[in-house]
Structure 1
Amino acid sequence: MADNKGLSMAASCIALRGVRIFLNASKAAAARRVSPPVQRRRPKPVVPGAKPPQKVFDALVKTTKFNKYELEALFTMYRTLVMAAQSAVPTTGIGQTAPKTDGIDQSTFRDVLHNTFDLVTEEAILDRIWVTWERGAAGGEGAIKFEAWARGLSRMLRGTDEERRTHCFAVYDLNADGWITKDEMFSLLKNSLLKQPGDEDPDEGVRDLVELVLKKMDIDKDGRVSFEDYRQAVEQEPLLLEAFGQCLPSKRHAVTFLRTLVAK
């Protein structure tokens, strides 16, 4: 069968094992979105755009760390996620179906991070991962399309040390100005720490922690952390990579997911 006439039989078999993982996330998203059946009419699933031309897969083989069969399996998962999310879109107040997103929307994206990669992290971190993920030509536009989905997963799951550092720094740089400031550290750490019984001023404890982290990471001592500061600090102490919150899957969850893309 020609490459452009659907997924190869081998890739389809590979993908089906991984689709089960994503269906749990999709069902969770659907349960939150669908209103009671007596009031809403469940729309018929809409199949997203056709399989990208072969040149897209050829380019992704060169620009990601996935091979052809893994990419085809990822596309099957991607299509399943989009279709599940589209089928859950409720009707509007006048009985018309709301516009459907051609891509992975934010709610589905968060479910995948939770259910597939076990990123049980702060809401602010999840929002930042979504914001920094490649979306649209200018970034931050609409849903995540397949090419961006594959490139992002490649960085998260098989990225080099530099790619992982770049990803984490972008997540922590809340205003995307190239620096992690004390205020940003305070905001990130405050959200990640639980208030202990008897704490009269929990913010004071967070400020003390900010000062400790700053001493470790502010290499040039200018009162803020640049990417070069961050790189050097993480090279000296790898545990500082996710100093302000988890934004990468654990090795165990990454390996488990990648196994679903490999034929037995």
Structure 2
Amino acid sequence: MGKAGRSPTPTTKNGAGAGGGAGVGAGVTNDALPTAAAAPTTAAVGSGSGGGGACRSTLHANKTILKTVSVFLASGKRNSSNQSKAAAAALQNKRQQRQRKMDELSGKINPKLLDNLRKKTRFTKDELDALCRIYRKLVSNCQYAAKTLASSSSSAAIAKPHSAVEGIDRIVFRELLHSTFDIVTEEILMERIFCSWDKAHEGLPLRLEGWLIGLSTFLRGTPAERAAFCFRVYDLNTDGFITKDEMFTLLRNCLIKQPQDEDPDEGVKDLVEIVLKKFDLDKDGKVSLDDFMGTVTAEPLLIEAFGQCLPTDSAVVSFFSTLQVKKNSLKNNLLMDN
């Protein structure tokens, strides 16, 4: 009986240790406290080691960010500096262009441009000065004509495109050719002379340089230069050839129609065939620049075969005499001012 009564006791004690009864479980917990208390210490050490690595990683990341920001700021400064330089250069260029326009309109030319024009033309320095004053006067006439047209309400829409023109326009140019150089020709030829004057800018208002270079050819060009100018004038569609149709148009406008002529166009067609045989050296049915130059070199009088587009010798002499008078007048005015 005594043994049987003691046997459950270890079982209960073991069961409590294994199963964790209420009373015994509390005791086991108390025995395990030192171990449990040590665990946080170990964890803290581990955490401290991991925290040091995290700090180094954070410092490295911060350094990378600072370096990136520094590079970005330096790049921004360079871009800002480049933009400032570009803006300053653009402003300087704009000022130079404005000054060149003012010089053109006032008839002044800077020494560098003057030297360049003396190389491109056959004018002396004094002649260039006088021609620049003429240009200023012609541009003023163009501006006055534009203002006059703009003052009329009925023609305001027509005048608007001309309000900002800086140069010699068609109207003033034609009047100059007619009154100064005795060019009396048909409207179509006048238009072609204007468009061919400055071969680099066909049909645009004539600026100072184009005006002077074209005038040099017009007044003092070599026979080859003047022949090439005439060819450009006669090449109505600027395709590099003078065709039968273009000859017909030019000669028909040049010829005086007689009232008794029943069909004047037939006479013009016959004349075209005669002229074509004379000029068409390679016999391809049209006149090229080489054909024209070859024919004119052999017979210089044929240079204006399709209509007048060059000044007479007397008109050239008279024009340069006028330039000389203007030059002397300017010198006298300067002497009186001093």
The answer to whether the superposition gives a TM-score over 0.5 is yes
Cα deviations by residue, 1:236-262 (Å, 9 ceiling, x for unpaired):
111110000000000110111012223
| C-alpha distance 178-47 of structure 1, shift in aligned 2 (>3 A) | closer
Q: Which residue of 2 aligns with 1:49?
A: 105
Are 2:103 and 2:109, in contact at CA under 8 Å, matched by a contact in 1?
A: no
- Is this contact kept in 2: 1:66–1:154, CA < 8 A? yes
Residue aligning to 2:264? 202
Q: Contact conserved, 2:195 with 2:204, CA < 8 A, in 1?
A: no
Counterparts in 2 of 1:246 and 1:67: CA distance versus 1, 3 Å? same
| Distance of aligned partners of 1:141 and 1:238 in 2 relative to their CA distance in 1, 3 Å threshold | closer
How far, CA to CA, are the matches of 2:127 and 2:286 in structure 1? Answer: 41
Paired residues, what number? 217
1:176-225 CA-to-partner distances (Å, cap 9, x unmatched) read: 11111111000000011111122111000000000110111111111111
Which of 138, 143, 154 aligns to 1:86? It is: 143
TM-score by length of 1: 0.77
CA distance in 2 between partners of 1:217 and 1:133 (Å): 23
Contact 1:63-1:151 within 8 A present in 2 as well? yes
Please identify which structure carries the higher helix content. Answer: 2
Q: Could you say what secondary structure the match of 1:261 adopts?
A: helix
> In structure 2, what is the Cα distance between the partners aligned to 1:198 and 1:212?
23
1:125 equivalenced with 2:182 (yes/no) = no
> Match for residue 214 of structure 2?
152
Quote the sequence identity (%): 51
Shift of 1:142: 3.1
Please say if residues 105 and 139 of structure 2, whose CA atoms lie closer than 8 Å, have aligned partners that are also in contact.
no
Q: 1:109 aligns with which of 173, 189, 214?
A: 173
Inter-partner Cα distance in structure 2 for 1:58 and 1:237: 36
Query: How far has the Cα of 1:47 moved from its partner?
Result: 9.9
Alignment TM-score, normalising by the size of structure 2: 0.61
Contact 1:48/1:83 (<8 A) preserved: no
Structure 2 distance, partners of 1:124, 1:87, is 25
Distance 1:165 1:140 in 2: 18
Match of 2:234 among 146, 149, 172: 172
* Cross-structure match for 1:258: 320
Is the CA contact (8 Å cut-off) linking 1:122 and 1:191 kept in structure 2? yes
Correspondence for 2:243? 181
For residue 83 of structure 1, report the CA deviation from its aligned partner.
1.1
- Correspondence list, 1:239-254, <5 A: 239-254=301-316
Shift of 1:141: 5.3
Partner secondary structure for residue 116 of structure 1:
helix
Partner of 1:42: none
Aligned to 1:28: none
- Per the alignment, residue 124 of structure 2 pairs with 67
Aligned-residue CA RMSD in angstroms? 2.2
Which residue pairs with 1:76 in the alignment?
133
> Is the Cα–Cα contact under 8 Å of residues 141 and 172 in structure 2 kept in the other structure?
no
Aligned-partner Cα distance in 2 for 1:182–1:63: 35
Cα distance in 1 for partners of 2:266, 2:128 equals: 48
Cα distance in 2 for partners of 1:140, 1:173 equals: 13
**Cα distance in 2, alignment partners of residues 107 and 73 from structure 1:** 22
Distance of 1:225 and 1:141 partners within structure 2: 23
The match for 2:294 is 232
Q: The residue matched to 1:260 in structure 2 has which SS? A: helix
- The 2-side partners of 1:122 and 1:204 are apart by 20
Partner of 2:3: none
Counterpart of 1:80 in structure 2: which amino acid? K
